[in-house]
Structure 1
Amino acid sequence: MVNFGVSQMPYAKFGRILIICLCLASVPIITNSQRTPQEEVNALQSIKDSLTDPYTNLRNWNKGDPCTTNWTGVICHILTPTDGYLHITELLLLDKNLSGTLSPELGRFSYMKILDFMWNNISGIIPKEIGNITSLELLLLSGNQLIGSLPEELGKLSNLNRIQVDENQISGPIPLSFSNLSKARHIHMNNNSLSGPIPPELSRLSVLVHLLLDNNNLSGHLPPELTELTHLLILQLDNNNFSGSTIPSSYGNMTRLLKLSLSNCSLYGDIPNWSNLSNVAYIDLSLNQLNGSIPTGALSRNITVIDLSNNTLNGIVPGSFSELPLLQKLSLANNLLSGSVPSSIWQNRVLNVSERLILDFTNNGFSNISGSLLTPPNVTIGLQGNPLCSNRTLIQFCRPNEEHPSNSINITKVDGCPPRLCKPPYEYAPASPEMPCFCAAPLYVGYRLKSPGFYDFVPYFSDFEEELSAGLGLNINQLAINSAIWQKGPRLRMHLKIFPPYRNNSLQLVNESEVLRIRDLFSGWRIKDNHVFGPFEFLNFTLSDAYADFLPPSSSGISKGALAGIILGTIAGSVVLSAFVSLLILRRRIHKHYQLSSRRLLSRSSIKIDGVKDFTYSEMAQATNNFDSSSLVGQGGYGKVYRGVLADGKVVAVKRAQEGSLQGEKEFLTEIELLSRLHHRNLVSLTGYCDDQGEQMLAYEFVSNGTLRDHLSGKFKVPLNFAMRVRTALDAARGILYLHTEANPPIFHRDIKSSNILIDSKYSAKVADFGLSKLAPVSEFEGNVPSHISTVVKGTPGYLDPEYFLTHKLTDRSDVYSLGVVFLEVLTGMHPIYHGKNIVREVNIAYNSGIVFSVIDERMGSYPSECVQKFVNLALKCCKDDPDERPSMAQVVRELDNILMMMPDKDSEMSEYPGKEVMSSPASSSRMSYPGTSSSIVTTSYGFENVSGSDLISGAIPGVAPR
């Protein structure tokens, strides 16, 4: 799978290239109207020089002319009236894994309209020279590591419609010059470190609709002048420090406002009269020091959320709260309210099956409930911590409840298509009565609602599908929402699939012009905002390998027809020349082969590691009986694994790379480097290696009792009981904790799965297979430690962290996610992906439905239910889609220790190994699985080999059940 816009054209045969080069002299000279001004070409080269491009996404930025040869991310237009040149009008480098800094040469693009560097790892400051691009309409720098202040010069961008610099580390004040951005409709500067007051001068921005400044260090008073923003729909200022400020009474007159979010802003005083907020749908004033009573005036009938929790409000609950037909959440918790709770708030609501109502009145002074006590099934009421809970007839309302057991939203659609008949990367398009099941390769889009005006997405799901498909000009059956996940903000992140329309042939693709059109709608923010759904964020646009031919050419601006004419005109000479070139290539390959063999022979003297033996080929052959099939214990993508006995009698597992395995070459060096300095009882140790006679082999300690996957799959006579499953999980977690915190430097494993956790004769678990591991980031020159590594996605489907899969950002929490999936396997015995279902999703559904014990593996016998419940909770926390919500590995180890301590002695005795007298599977102990392999006797127990990002589309998107 590749990101769209990255040139990936395969290399041509050397002979053909030479032919084309010889013939280029006959091509007419390109005129000015077909070329980019040299000043803009030079600026692009300076931009590339200031960036770090580890995956060579910009590798075609030195081939030909930028506009006529389609440089990655460069969009050009002929201006009207024309000056004879093509000018760069858009620079779209979204999600390209770029780092480095932004060059001041960006200011050279006098005709630029869109500048997009979102979701990279770019550091440094925002160049003030960007202020020279007066034509700029979209400045998109979100999701980087930019520092420093916002340049005053950006205030000169008189045509700017949208500035998005959120999710960086920008500090300093909001420049007063921003009040000159007279065409700005969207200012998104949230999640930075901005300080100082909000300039009252921003009230001059007469067309501003979204002002998002939440999660900064802003201070001072809330400017009452913001009321003059007559088109403002969203005012989001949460998590700042306006200490000593009240909410200006004029804010109650913002008649067009849809969302007012001022949570955790150190505000005090009264809540303004809100009866004039005739369109508001979402009010969050929680976590302040507001006092006085709740306004009694009528509220907008559009309201979905009212959160006034954690203040010092007094008085009663207004009767107007009983007249809100769309209300989803009302939270008045942790105030000083008293009197009666009016049951009319929920009795007056008629809820359909997809709607729910959350009412939180906890920790106040309510003495009773007025009206009927009947509660519809879709209503959750919290009243614990109130005096009324002393009344036994009301005890049903006083039990603790959890609003959101999971941030994932259950999306279930029955399409009626037969299972697994499409060959990946093709899959069934959404079926409908008018459209039969057909196989198609979808486009993948990362999409996020940045400030939605609701608490529960389910009632709005169909409306959103219709709205977005209409905005994209698609039939509703071409759009599928593969997953929807609540994240901090709150924001709603989605993984979308876009399918081609049905055509009467076997395999379908979205045609090339349609791919470009859809991408441009997202990247140009040309999809109309809906008031309910709020502003959106475009996160990524990804094509599977089925679309490889759609990628732009990398070098030549010659038309296909002209090129065909050139080749036809010289075909006779090409035959002779190709034959000559082929002889040269053959000779070069033979020479390269001898060089490679020589290097391998020499490398034995260069790889000398203390404590790790350097074996010869003959020693390995002797240990394994000349690699006899009777010694074979497994086979995987890397090669084969044999049981061997060294000359000193030590038993080892010998992993032998298959011939020509380039991936194996890399893994070979990685494992030697890492394992040679890792020493922990819960990690498989390296005995030695062989790099001799063109062979690569690794010799591990032999672990005799198979893999965790073997035990969970029923290959052993006696299954693991619950206590041993917890101990195995704890052993694995301790081994990974060592990698994260005690190895020097720390290591991210990147391929944790049950088949890489081995069980020894004492039933201790050991983590194995470090071929995909990566060194964790270390301190930079300023002492800062980056939070992640940007790397190509590798791992095993079903275990992959969805955030890593989408962003290519590998963190320690990526290992936590994978281990969480292993925990779910331990609990259920199921595979991560089975019968088209994903284990994380299925256990979440069971958990949210209150039937989680129905999916627990019956083979582990009796178990203490409280301990299992805690283990389930831990596993699901590890598998949260948002990495920030997952525990650290240290917290995982601590929780597993606590679970073991809770267990009755008879359940936790080490002597209670399952099958103590049967220490091996029905197969002999010499035929167990080893890192990166599957059993050589039975069908592979885990079903997948290590794959790169381009392979992942053949499985499910991690964390989401396949269609």
Structure 2
Amino acid sequence: MCMVLSWKMAPRVWLCILALFLQVLLTTALTDAEDAASLLSLKESWANVPSSWVGSDPCGGKWGGISCLNSRVVSITLSSIGLSGSLSGDIGNLVNLQTLDLSYNKGLSGNLPASVGNLKKLTNLILVGCNFGGPIPESIGHLDQLVFLSLNSNNFIEEIPDSMGLLSQLYWLDIADNELTGSIPVSNGRKPGLDMLLKTKHFHFGNNRLTGEIPAQLFTSNMSLIHLLLENNLLSGSIPDTVGLVSHLEVVRLDNNSFSGSVPATLNKLTNVTELFLSNNRLTGNLPNLTGMGSLNYLDMSNNTFDPSDFPSWFPTLQSLTTLVMEGTRIQGQLPNGLFSLPQLQTVKLRSNKLNGTLDVGSSYSSQLQLIDLRDNGIDAIKQRARSYGFQIILDGNRICYEGGTNEYCTSSQPSNSSYSTLPDNCLPAQCSNHQVSSRTCKCAYPYTGTLYFRAPSFSNLENSTYYEILQESMMKSFQSHQMPIDSLTLSTPTKNFNSYLVIGLQIFPSSGYHFNLTGVVTIGFLLSNQTFKPPKLFGPYFFIGDCYKYFDGVRTDKSKGYGIIIGAAVGGSILLILAILAGVFAFRQKKKAEEATLRSNPFASWNKSKHSDGVPQMRGPTSFSFEELKKYTNNFSDVNDVGSGGYGKVYRGMLPNGQFIAIKRAHNGSMQGALEFKTEIELLSRVHHKNLVRLHGICFEQGEQMLIYEYCPNGTVKDSLSGKSGIRLDWPRRLRIALGVARGIQYLHDLADPPIIHRDIKSNNVLLDDCLTAKVSDFGLSKLAGEHEIGHVSTQVKGTMGYLDPEYYMTQQLTEKSDVYSFGVLLLELITARNPIENRKYIVTEVKQQMDTTKELYGLQGILDPKLDSSMTPKSLEKFVDLSLRCVENTGADRPSMSEVVKEIENIMELAGLNPNVESTSTSENYKGGSKQSPYVEESPFAYSGGYLPSKLEPK
């Protein structure tokens, strides 16, 4: 405490006042303790955090991407900076948070924690283009202030939570490009549903696996909806006529589903719709009458089974139409030349119909016309003008081409995608180096890059540069209005992808220097992820996927003010003392909080511990290895013995004193990541013993380490062999023996383990092959005990790997032994096709069922069978194998065989193929260099929830 005694002491007085002032200033500037603890927890769970994240005072220390108000954190915007890790549950403690944007960080994965529901003040939740997975938590419905919700382009699974219907303030809902399943939820008096979202203008649900019908109740006249995007799902049933009640709709995408029945007549009441996609469904009845839809620009009704009809007479009423696509719609007769006189028309695609007669384009065709594609019809003549048309006509597959007529139009070639790129602004592009790029103003810099995806553009002519110039000008004006440090931007290579999205590359250049700083990057990212930038209407709804920005300049501004030496020394001492006290208090609170969190999250708390075991469970079977022993066996965990890594940690090869090889799965040092899976594997593998189950030799649980020690399987995984990575040739007998081995291992778990065990993650990446190619089921981190449940199933959160998951388990969350049977059936199909279960958005089960023809040899599946299958495969044995596979993947568990029945059936198939099911396979060691084998221990699938095994690195001779 300082006291003023006389004016002669004024310098000392002023020093004391200044010290007290700084003390008050520092105290008030400190971040709220709970918020600081939460951000420090996030920092610990993430890699590649901003370099400004130093110290323990995020608000006072001005952490990049963090905004505060009155010492409370109100905004986290960290897009495109290369973050990796998971989202800590401590995010829920930031109760004043209003904006959370972590978009375009591909390294962010794991589940969205339920604690996000605690963020009651949150208005913007944006996680675009990350790798988050698992179900969207029901707690998201607690965010009653939420206006903007973007979870698109992730790996979310399971159903859309009913609770989303409680988000009464929601304006934007984008959950597209995930793996969501189930039906669209609507309210029923007991639970909420999406029909309650009357203020929401955007339903973006495309590119998921949604099933069932669109509930008629979803649509009402009170809705504000303008975008209804449901493309590329598994929806079925009829399109409800209530869709005609939503008068504000502008874009409707229902394409690439399984809708059936007639198109509702009420559709033509949607007079504001500019884009309508109904293609690739099973729609029947008459072509819909769209008279009155005068705003329609883009219409695609291709590949449906409408009743045969002449070309509709109402088409000339669509005066705004730019694109007409009606391939495979069974229209017939002669085309009226009035069609081509629509003033905005650019593209007409009428391939694979029954059009005939003479093609007459007329003389008053649209000046914007680029393409008329009439392939595979019955047109026998064309009325030509004296000079060539300025657009392309394709008549390949028509009579005019078969009967020796003109060849000018008898070609299947189509216009390529545009090579457009923004031109320099009256300057010569600079010659740049060090990965720099020349901007539109011919300056070298490191641009922020990414890709724009427009989901329903109003035009199809990609060659018209005017469109992109309009877009470019619009973007620049938007960025400038937000005072962004941008010099220029360029657009390049517009293309159409398989979803009919317009895809455009984007580069944004800094206004000064060569780099953007962190604030510039995350602000640009937020303007695009938050849809602050509104494109011209002709481009329609969009989303942006930003690239990781790697070129931050790293310049830190020197904020020191150079106080006098005397004042600096005096004040510095006071500050150090205050900070020391505050740091001590904060550290104590943090330590106590960390200890409590560790205690709560410790999955081993229920195990009996010995005072000499450092927490190692007391059980029979596995050996408890010391850390020092494992260091010795792996040559101090040397890089030579590092055979791979996964989400759990690293895996090392080791050798016991008796010469036996072992595989050691080591968690990240000091981490409890995967602790539940670690505990589960120990508890289950310590009491199951079968030649087709990987053997657990021991564990290490000391010095902060978590390690599992397995038998060493040098020939990798079945997935590696099927993909060709291991170099092992799997002929038909070997594939049958693998199938039998896996089946016997699972049968043991179901029928002989006490209580029974459901594996829950059967897949080719979890089946190892030993020296003799004996199949060994591994990775029990997701397994569940089943025998103690008298009701016949275990109710549990859905976990596993997409593509192998039982749909019944998926829908009901009721796990049974038949869930393993389904996964095993997918594995059988993988064995004969060598394809991933989901490849190019095609599901192997569906592919086999669609192509299967039992009247043909090999069931007509030659096109999808693995070409590496040789003459050792007999047609009859393969057909029986396919029959068994499809029985295993029946939609309901009751229709699937038990694993004991599966084992017997595979044994019969082997005998049919002339093989003895009780004879083991031979060793493959003669095919490889001795000592060069490495074990493939790591997970590959981004959907897997627990550690698996690395691709094999065996070296063929």
Aligned to 1:784: 801
Alpha-carbon contact 1:427-1:440 (below 8 Å) kept: yes
> Which position in structure 1 is the counterpart of 2:147?
137
Question: Which residue does the alignment assign to 2:788?
Answer: none
Q: Which whole-Å CA distance do the structure 2 matches of 1:278 and 1:482 have between them?
A: 32
1:368 aligns with one of 381, 401, 410? 381
Please give the alpha-carbon distance, in whole angstroms, between the structure 2 residues aligned to 1:468 and 1:745. Answer: 51
* Structure 1 residue 87 corresponds to structure 2 residue 79: no
Question: In structure 2, how many angstroms separate the alpha carbons of the residues matched to 1:892 and 1:509?
Answer: 51
Once residues 528 and 490 of structure 2 are traced to their aligned partners in structure 1, the CA distance between those partners, rounded to angstroms, is: 16
Q: 2:407 aligns with which of 385, 395, 398?
A: 395
Q: 1:305 aligns with which of 318, 323, 330?
A: 323
2:297 corresponds to which residue? 281
User: What residue in structure 2 maps to residue 439 of structure 1?
Assistant: 444
The 8 Å contact of residues 368 and 388 in structure 1, kept in 2 or not, is answered as yes
Work out the CA distance in 1 between the residues paired with 2:645 and 2:209: 43
Shift in CA distance, 334/92, structure 1 to aligned 2, threshold 3 Å: same
In structure 2, C-alpha distance between the alignment counterparts of 1:79 and 1:605, rounded to whole Å:
52
Residue in 2 that maps onto 1:536? 542
Counterpart-to-counterpart distance in 2, 1:566 and 1:487: 68
CA pair 66-262 structure 1, distance change in 2 beyond 3 A: farther
Task: Report if aligned partners of 1:422, 1:439 keep a CA contact under 8 Å in 2.
Answer: yes
Is the CA contact 2:446–2:551 (under 8 Å) kept in the aligned structure 1?
no
Once the 2 structures are TM-superposed, how far is the Cα of residue 888 of structure 1 from its aligned partner? 13
Select between 515-524 and 132-141 the one with higher mean Cα deviation. 515-524
Paired position in structure 1 for 2:470: 463
Corresponding position: 1:234 with 2:251: yes
Higher mean alpha-carbon deviation, 149-158 vs 297-306, is at 297-306
1:151 aligns to 2:173 (yes or no)? no
Of the candidates 711, 724, 736, which is equivalent to residue 742 of structure 1?
724
Q: Given the alignment of the two structures, is residue 115 of structure 1 paired with residue 97 of structure 2, yes or no? A: no
Contact 2:332/2:354 (<8 A) preserved: yes
> How has the CA–CA distance of structure 1 residues 268 and 667 changed in structure 2, closer, same or farther, with 3 Å as cutoff?
farther
- Check whether the contact 1:76–1:87 (CA below 8 A) recurs between aligned residues: no
Instruction: Supply the AA of the counterpart residue of 1:523.
Output: S
Q: Does 1:124 align with 2:140?
A: no
Per-residue displacement from partner, 1:73-114 (whole Å, max 9, x unpaired)? 65555699x9xx992111111122111111110011111111
CA distance in 2: counterparts of 1:157 and 1:534, whole angstroms? 25
Where do 1:892-911 residues align within 5 Å? none
Question: One-letter code of the match for 2:263?
Answer: I
- What aligned pairs does 1:788-799 form with structure 2 within 5 A after superposition? none
> In the alignment, what sits opposite 1:953?
none
1:183 is matched with: 199
In the superposition, relative to structure 1, how do residues 537 and 668 fare at CA in structure 2: closer, same or farther (>3 Å)?
farther
> Match for 1:319: what amino acid?
N
Contact 1:246 / 1:268 at 8 angstroms: preserved in 2? yes
Could you tell me whether the CA contact under 8 Å between 1:425 and 1:546 is conserved in 2? no
Secondary structure of 1:154's counterpart equals helix
User: What RMSD in Å do the two structures reach over aligned CA positions?
Assistant: 5.1
Per the alignment, residue 64 of structure 1 pairs with 56
Preserved contact between residue 216 and residue 239 of structure 1 (Cα < 8 Å): yes
Measured in 1, the distance between the counterparts of 2:418 and 2:866 equals 25
Partner of 2:346: 328
CA contact 1:336–1:365 (8 Å) conserved in 2? yes
Please name the residue that 1:202 is paired with.
218
**Take 1:672 and 1:175, find their aligned partners in 2: how far apart are those partners?**
40
Contact 2:273–2:293 (Cα < 8 Å) also in 1 = yes
Identical residues among aligned pairs (%): 25
Match of 1:392, SS?
Answer: coil
- Please say if residues 516 and 552 of structure 2, whose CA atoms lie closer than 8 Å, have aligned partners that are also in contact: no
Q: Does 1 or 2 have the higher relative contact order (CA < 8 Å, sep 6+)?
A: 1
**Distance in 1 separating the partners of 2:141 and 2:566:** 46
CA distance in 1, matches of 2:865, 2:561: 59
Deviations 1:606-664 (A, max 9, x none): 4699xxxxxxxxxxxxxxxxxxxxxxxxxxxxxxxxxxxxxxxxxxxxxxxxxxxxxxx
**Counterpart code for 1:521:** L
Between the aligned partners of 2:510 and 2:384, the Cα distance in structure 1 is 54
Question: Is the alpha carbon distance of 1:562 and 1:162 closer, same or farther for their aligned partners in structure 2, counting shifts above 3 Å?
Answer: farther
Q: Is residue 147–residue 172 contact of structure 2 (8 Å, CA) maintained in 1?
A: yes
Question: Which residue of 425, 446, 453 maps to 1:448?
Answer: 453
Cα distance in 2 between the residues matched to 1:672 and 1:173: 37
DSSP 3-state at the match of 1:129: helix
Unaligned runs of 5+ in 2: 1-18, 75-93, 187-192, 578-626, 654-718, 729-763, 768-778, 783-798, 805-834, 840-862, 871-957
Q: Is contact 1:37–1:86 with CA below 8 Å preserved after alignment?
A: no
Query: Which residue of structure 2 aligns with residue 651 of structure 1?
Result: none
| Cα separation, 1, equivalents of 2:765 and 2:59 | 37
Give, in whole Å, the separation in 2 of the partners of 1:58 and 1:320: 61
Size of the alignment, in residue pairs? 580
Task: Give the C-alpha shift of residue 33 in structure 1.
Answer: 8.6
CA contact (8 A) 1:305 1:327 kept: yes
Partner SS, residue 118 of structure 1:
coil
Are residues 280 and 29 of structure 1, via their aligned partners in 2, closer, same or farther at CA, if it must alter by over 3 Å?
Answer: same
Deviation at 1:184, TM superposition (A): 0.8
Shift of 1:266: 0.6
How far 1:465 moved relative to its partner?
A: 1.5
Structure 1: 5+ residue stretches without partners: 1-22, 432-436, 578-598, 610-664, 678-736, 747-775, 788-811, 817-886, 895-963
Q: Which amino acid aligns with 2:553?
A: Y
Find the counterpart in structure 2 of residue 215 from structure 1.
Answer: 232
Instruction: Report the AA paired with residue 469 of structure 1.
Output: M
1:313 Cα offset (Å) = 1.7
Tell me the distance in 1 between the aligned counterparts of 2:241 and 2:476.
39
2:310 is aligned with 1:293: yes
- C-alpha contact 1:77 1:87 (8 A) present in aligned 2: no
Contact 2:126 2:530 in 1 (8 A): no
Letter in 1 for 2:472: E
1:687-836 mapped onto 2 (5 Å cutoff): 741-744=723-726, 781=782, 784=801
Q: Distance in 2 between matches of 1:538 and 1:116?
A: 12
Q: Which residue of 1 aligns with 2:918?
A: none
1:58 deviates by 8.7
* CA positional deviation for 1:438: 3.1
Q: Aligned residue for 2:272?
A: 256
8 A contact 2:277–2:301 mirrored in 1: yes
Asked if 1:170 corresponds to 2:180, the answer is yes
Deviation at 1:537, TM superposition (A): 0.7
Q: Contact between 1:92 and 1:117, CA under 8 Å: does it hold in 2?
A: yes
Q: Report the residue type matching 1:142 in the other structure.
A: N
Counterpart of 1:338? Answer: 356
Q: Give the distance between the partners of 1:671 and 1:132, measured in 2 at CA.
A: 42
Give the AA of the match of 1:742: G
* SS class of match (2:158): coil
Mark the CA change 1:496 to 1:250 in structure 2 (over 3 Å): closer, same or farther.
same
1:7-26 → structure 2 map (5 Å cutoff): none
What is the 5 A alignment of 1:513-912?
515=521, 517-540=523-546, 542-549=548-555, 568-569=568-569, 606=634, 741-744=723-726, 781=782, 784=801
Residues 1:569 and 1:79: Cα distance change in structure 2 (over 3 Å) = closer
In the alignment, the residues of structure 2 paired with residue 70 and residue 778 of structure 1 have an alpha-carbon distance, to the nearest angstrom, of 46
In the alignment, is the contact (CA less than 8 A) between 1:411 and 1:483 conserved in 2?
yes
- Alignment-derived partner of residue 944 in structure 1: none
- CA shift, 1:295, in A, is 1.9
* CA offsets 1:779-801 (integer angstroms, 9 cap, x no match): 875663799xxxxxxxxxxxxxx
